[in-house]
Amino acid sequence: MTLKTNATSWIDRLISWIENLPGPTWLIYLFMFLLVNLTNNAVLWLDGTLPFGTFDFYRTSVVVFVVYPLGLFHYLSISAKNAFQTFSPLLKKGKSEHSQWEKRLTKLPARIAWLVLIMTVLIRISRLEEIADSAISSNFFYLTFAYESIFGIFAFSISIILIIQSVRQLILVSQIHREAREISLFQLDAAHAFSNLTSRIGIGVFLLTVFSVIQNAEFDIITFVFNISGLLLAIGAFVLPLTGMRAQLQALKKKNLSTVNQLIEVSFSKLNMSAEATDQKDLSNLMTKVNGLIIERNEIRKISTLPWETATFRGFATTILLPVFIWFVTRLLDRFL
- List of the chain residues with pLDDT < 70: 1-6, 93-95, 127-142, 217-220, 273-283, 312-313, 316-317, 319-322, 324-337
Please, what sign has the CA dihedral across residues 299, 306, 83, 316? negative
Q: Let me know whether 216 and 121 are in one domain.
A: yes
Dihedral through CA 107, CA 111, CA 112, CA 115, nearest 10?
A: 150
The answer to whether residue 3 is domain-embedded is: no
Residue 239's SS3 state is coil
Is residue 135 within 8 A of residue 148, CB to CB? The reply is yes
Q: Let me know whether 145 and 168 are in one domain.
A: yes
Q: Let me know whether 298 and 186 are in one domain.
A: no
| Residue from 163, 151, 147, 149 nearest 69 by CA | 163
The answer to whether residue 337 is domain-embedded is: no
Q: Let me know whether 73 and 116 are in one domain.
A: yes
| Residue from 236, 202, 178, 175 nearest 76 by CA | 202
The answer to whether residue 131 is domain-embedded is: yes
Count of structural domains within the chain: 2
pLDDT number for residue 35: 94
pLDDT number for residue 28: 94
Q: For residue 23, what is the DSSP state?
A: S
**Distance, CA of 122 to CA of 199 (rounded, Å):** 33
CA angle (19, 205, 193) in 5-degree steps: 70
Q: Let me know whether 265 and 132 are in one domain.
A: no
Residue 8's SS3 state is strand
pLDDT number for residue 10: 93
Is residue 89 within 8 A of residue 190, CB to CB? The reply is yes
Tell me, rounded to whole angstroms, the distance of Cα 197 from its chain centroid: 5
Distances (CA, A) of 23 to 10, 20, 26, 336: 22, 9, 9, 55
**CB-based contacts of 73: which residues, under 8 Å, 6+ apart?**
11, 15, 158, 161, 162, 165
Q: Let me know whether 253 and 233 are in one domain.
A: no
Q: pLDDT digit string (tens) for 113-152? A: 999 999 999 887 776 666 555 555 555 556 777 888 888 8
Q: Let me know whether 205 and 295 are in one domain.
A: no
What residues make up the domain containing 294? 245-307
pLDDT number for residue 333: 58
Q: Let me know whether 189 and 82 are in one domain.
A: yes
Q: Let me know whether 68 and 181 are in one domain.
A: yes
Q: Let me know whether 176 and 280 are in one domain.
A: no
Distances (CA, A) of 257 to 97, 204, 261, 265, 299: 33, 39, 6, 12, 10
pLDDT number for residue 3: 44
Q: pLDDT digit string (tens) for 238-282? A: 777 788 888 888 888 999 999 888 888 888 777 776 655 555 666
pLDDT number for residue 2: 43
The answer to whether residue 72 is domain-embedded is: yes
What long-range pairs does 291-294 form, CB within 8 A, spacing at least 24?
293/260, 293/263, 293/264, 293/267, 294/264
Q: Where are the alpha helices (DSSP H) in the chain?
A: 10-19, 25-46, 57-61, 64-87, 95-106, 110-126, 128-137, 142-178, 193-215, 221-237, 243-277, 280-302, 310-316, 322-336
**Distance, CA of 337 to CA of 325 (rounded, Å):** 18
Is residue 266 within 8 A of residue 200, CB to CB? The reply is no
Is residue 170 within 8 A of residue 240, CB to CB? The reply is yes
**Distance, CA of 307 to CA of 196 (rounded, Å):** 10
